[in-house]
A and B are shown apart, each in its own frame.
Chain A
Amino acid sequence: MTQHILAVDDEPHMLKLLERIVEEKTPYRITTTSNSLEVPGLLERHAFDVVVTDLKMPGMDGLDVLQTVRERGRGEQVIIITAFGTLDSAMTALSSGVFDYIIKPFKKEAFLFSLHRAMRWVQKQREVEGLQAIFETEPYEEAREAFDREYVRRLRQRASGDVAALAERSGMNPGQLEELLQD
């Protein structure tokens, strides 16, 4: 599933630059808005992995955006990119849970480095949460089913071949395997 970025900055040209960088240099999708007040609605309608935002904007500022994201608790990581870099604001942002803090003008490599790190983090986080969900499923039978489904899904990702080959490799019952593969 393609990872998705939300970029927020009141300067449209900046958004164009970020779009360009992401489209040319990364496999991710990007949605942009120059109106920070649209952020809550956008967070609702789409599934984002990383939110990139400016600090000083009319309407909601960067820290407001950060707070909104954290309160919704869907796990998006926030990167702040700002021209208004002071030690104080960086420390405030970082201790409020921002993933990274980049000062303009920035080298695109620095931005990409931070972006990739954030994406990897989110991916790992979601994976852990997914696995956690399986273990916390009740009753036991349903948890077992969830485990089996996930097990087979990953098996098919890492191994090639038809049902018979997979069954032999894993030692699973072919009938059961066939059924789980239908999902």
Chain B
Amino acid sequence: MAEGRARIESEQIFQRIVEQATDLIYILDLDLRVVWLNHHAVTVFSELLAPGSRRVLPGGEERTSFFVGRPLAELFHPEDVAFVRRKMNEVVVAGDSVSYDHTITPHGEQTHFSTKLIPIRDDAGRVTQILGITRDVTEARELDQRIYNAEKLASIGILAAGVAHEINNPLTIILGFTDLLKERFSPDAQEYKDLELIEYNANHAKEVVQQMLGFARVTEGMHDQVDVASSVQTVTSIVRHTLANRKISLHVEIDEELPSVAGDPREYQQVLFNLVNNAVAAMSRGGVLTVRAKGRAGWVDVEVEDTGVGIPDRCKPRVFDPFFTTKRVGEGTGLGLSLCYGIVRKYGGKIDFVSTSTEDHPGEPGGSTFTVSLPVPDGDRKGGP
């Protein structure tokens, strides 16, 4: 009697373990019918159902029985089902477990799974069913990706510093001897003008290197706090005078009592300055530049809006790519926005834009708005959650 009770208790323990496991545990027969599945599998399967099946999905307690006995073909997308069938065949043929990773995009967001299919044999040793254990590895994968990106950025930093050093030496020699040579000719001489051309281009190369060093140094910035209002005021006051010359009117709107955000004030100002420069460049015939600093729950947004020619649709995907530029040679290196992106992301922020281009919509007013959002560190939030 006691033995029976012990067995029941032991079974109950195992049942509880399996039921409460945070992995999906399920059993399929060789026709890809669900024989049994644990609680978590019910939850996740429900989320992954193809639209048709989702419509007939019952709620609450009846869900489990909805799945049991049903073939996968009635539940999920045909490609996914075909995929599982292929994997199951591998198990049967190999007579051994098969592990694989797969990614599903149920509602536009990617979910990464890691699955192991294990053969269940009958007494004769034939594979009759498949035990599946699936784990959601999305978070782990994203963390890995973030670490990888950070390491890549750091190694780019080291690489860039080394390359910069290698290039700066020959540049110094070129510029140095060009300078000495220039002194031997009068400014009217052709040789003098030729030398000036060499010097100009060597200086351009020097600037690219310096910008790249700036990009590389993204990982070296001193962590601090940024008073957004004050940074916006600093940057706008610097550019104010040049704007008047170019027939660009400036509007600045800053919310009162904006909280500080994480960041290094110089880098933050560098970002704003870059965005403002781009806005000015887009308005070669004048226009309106608006800079707004606004707070919302847990974030501070700064918008830089212009009424310029806008960014054509064909360019939009590449806007933050390093070295992507639509400026002519000598007018810019194309590192500005990728640098901004790196800085903003480093502090956990976001940078994005909307734009209407006169190229895609001729006859209509164009313009772009870039928005930099930075999170407010937890201790500093003012005015509510």
Q: Give A residues with C-beta under 8 Å from B.
A: 11, 13-14, 17, 20-21, 24, 56, 83-84, 86, 104-108
Contact = CB atoms under 8 A, between A and B. Distances in A.
A7 to B, nearest CB: 13
A83 B164 contact: yes
B111 interface: no
A105 B206 CA distance: 8
Q: For the complex, would chain A's binding face be called helix, strand, loop or mixed by DSSP majority?
A: loop
A83 B163 CA distance: 10
B168 A17 contact: no
Contacts of A14: 169, 172-173
Given A21-B180, A108-B179, A108-B180, A83 B161 contact: no
A84 B165 contact: yes
Interface of B: 161, 164-173, 175-177, 179-180, 202, 206
Contacts of B171: 104-105
A20 B180 contact: yes
5 contacts: A20-B177, A84-B165, A104-B168, A104-B169, A106-B172
B211 to A, nearest CB: 15
A21 B164 contact: no
A104 B172 CA distance: 6
B201 to A, nearest CB: 13
Contact of A17 (B161, B165, B176, B202): B176
B177 A17 contact: yes
Given A83-B164, A84-B161, A108 B169 contact: no
A110 B206 CA distance: 17
B176 A21 contact: yes
Across the A-B interface, the 3 shortest Cβ-Cβ residue pairs: A83-B168, A105-B172, A104-B172
B280 to A, nearest CB: 28
A108 B179 CA distance: 8
Contacts of A13: 170, 173
Contact of B173 (A17, A24, A86): A17
A13 to B, nearest CB: 5
A107 to B, nearest CB: 8
Contacts of A84: 161, 165, 168
A100 B168 CA distance: 19
Contacts of B161: 84, 86
Nearest to A103: B168
B168 to A, nearest CB: 3
A108 B173 CA distance: 11
Contacts of A17: 172-173, 176-177, 180
Contacts of A56: 165
B180 A105 contact: no
A44 to B, nearest CB: 29
Contacts of A21: 176, 180
Nearest to B205: A105
A104 B180 CA distance: 16
Most chain B CB within a 10 A radius of its CB, from A56, A104, A106, A108? A104
A83 B170 CA distance: 10
B323 to A, nearest CB: 21
Contacts of A24: 180
A86 B165 CA distance: 11
B120 to A, nearest CB: 62
Nearest to A13: B173
